[in-house]
Structures are given as C-alpha cells and as structure tokens.
C-alpha cells in the first residue's frame, strides 16, 4: 500500500508561483466573508509560508478586539491603526497577507499597495455576492459595521467599496460556489498564467 502524505507535508517546491522581489507573496483584499483569512491560510499551507492578517495585528497591538476599538475610539482611529499594520506588514512580511475588509479605504494604504504592486506585488480581490457571503458571515450584526439591517448594510458597503477593491487589485477572483481550497488553487493557477504572460 502506498503511504499517504501527511496532511501538512511541505508542498512540492514547484507549487510556488513566481514571487515578487520584495514584500508579501500575495495580498488578499475583499469584503467581510469573502474568505481572506481562510483562503490565506490555504495558500500559506500550499506554499509553506505564514499567513499574516492585519485584523489580528491591530487587535494584538491594541490589546483588545476590533468591535471594542470601534466602540472606544471610533472608526477613524481604527483605520489609522489598521494603516500602520498594513504598512508594517507590506514592509516586513514575506508570506501571505490578508487585509481587513475596509483597509483599502485609507488613502495611505492604497498608496502603499500601489508601491507594492509597482515592485511586482500581487493584490487579489476576493469577490463574493451577498447570497454567498451571508451564510459565511452569519450577518448577525455582531460585526461593528453591520448594525441595523445586516444584509442591507453588507450590500451597501460592498457597493461602495467595489470600485476601490477593483482599483487596488491586480487580480479579481470570484469565490461564489467554490471552496476556499478551490479559490487558493485558482489564485495559484492565475499567478502562473500571469507570469507566463497569458
């Protein structure tokens, strides 16, 4: 009987797509429930690199969770902290980077992403419809921006941010009806295709 590989065995080095010279191997952006954290983890496993998540970075620095930062200091202060976290991660992290859903709202963050892309970096917009995001997130109004009618709020926020996601991203990957693993494989395939000039 052929032994099966361990679930976390290091991937074939050939699994790694061509890499940007500096910074993260790939940056993931998109709305709440698009799968940034989950797909980021799947890519990290495939490539044997770490996932860094700016939501977690902000919470660690602030010593409290994001809803509490919103309550105590407001959205503008959260965005400022988030911008610092993204700038630091773009400079330091050589792995997969997942951004908070609203990180792209900060002009300084958009500039930092543009500089990263100019240096060969890849920013992926994980796209998702309300119908698919709703069951993933629960849309139960526990997230700070979803007070009131969570479905309507999610849809409004997505409509408002979509042009920004499209502007900062070098690649848009639809996630409706696909597992996080399928999305990760699609990202890898598209990076290879882009590197071949396809």
Written as six digits, the tokens of 172 are: 């848009």
Annotation-wise, does 48 bind a ligand? Answer: no
Stretch that binds Mg ion, among 21-29, 37-45, 129-137, 138-146 (CB under 5 A): 37-45
Q: Name which of 17 and 101 has its Cβ closer to ligand ADP.
A: 101
Among 19, 25, 27, 32, binds ligand ADP (CB under 6 A): 32
Phi, psi of 10 (to 5 degrees): -60, 135
Annotation-wise, does 57 bind a ligand? Answer: no
**Whose structure tokens read 């902290």?**
81
| First and final C-alpha spacing in the chain | 40
Q: At what angle do helices 75-92 and 107-118 cross, to 10 degrees?
A: 20
Stretch that binds ligand ADP, among 12-20, 66-74, 166-174, 179-187 (CB under 6 A): 179-187
The distance of Cα 10 from the centroid of its chain, to the nearest Å, equals: 23
Instruction: Give the x/- contact pattern for ligand ADP in 121-160, rule: CB under 6 A.
Output: ---------------xx-----------------------
Distance CA 75, CA 181 (A): 32
Under the binding rule (CB under 6 A), the answer on residue 52 touching ligand ADP is no
Q: Decide which of ligand ADP, Mg ion, none touches 109; Cβ closer than 5 to 8 Å per partner kind.
A: none
């Amino acid at each position: 009987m052929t032994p099966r590989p361990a679930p976390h065995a290091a991937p074939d080095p050939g699994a790694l797509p061509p890499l940007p010279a500096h910074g993260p191997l790939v940056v993931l952006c998109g709305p709440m429930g698009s799968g940034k954290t989950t797909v980021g983890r799947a890519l990290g496993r495939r490539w044997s690199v770490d996932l860094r998540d700016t939501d977690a970075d902000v919470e660690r620095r602030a010593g409290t969770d994001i809803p509490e930062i919103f309550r105590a200091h407001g959205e503008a202060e959260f965005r400022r902290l988030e911008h610092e976290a993204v700038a630091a991660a773009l400079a330091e992290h050589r792995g997969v980077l997942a951004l908070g859903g609203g990180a792209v709202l900060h002009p300084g963050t958009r500039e930092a992403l543009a500089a990263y892309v100019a240096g060969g970096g890849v920013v992926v917009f994980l796209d998702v419809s309300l119908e698919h995001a709703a069951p993933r997130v629960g849309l139960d109004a526990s997230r700070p921006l979803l007070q009131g009618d969570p479905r309507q709020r999610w849809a409004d926020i997505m409509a408002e941010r979509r042009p920004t996601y499209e502007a900062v991203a070098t690649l848009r990957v639809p996630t409706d009806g696909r597992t996080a693993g399928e999305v990760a494989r699609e990202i890898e395939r598209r990076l290879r295709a882009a590197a071949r000039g396809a």
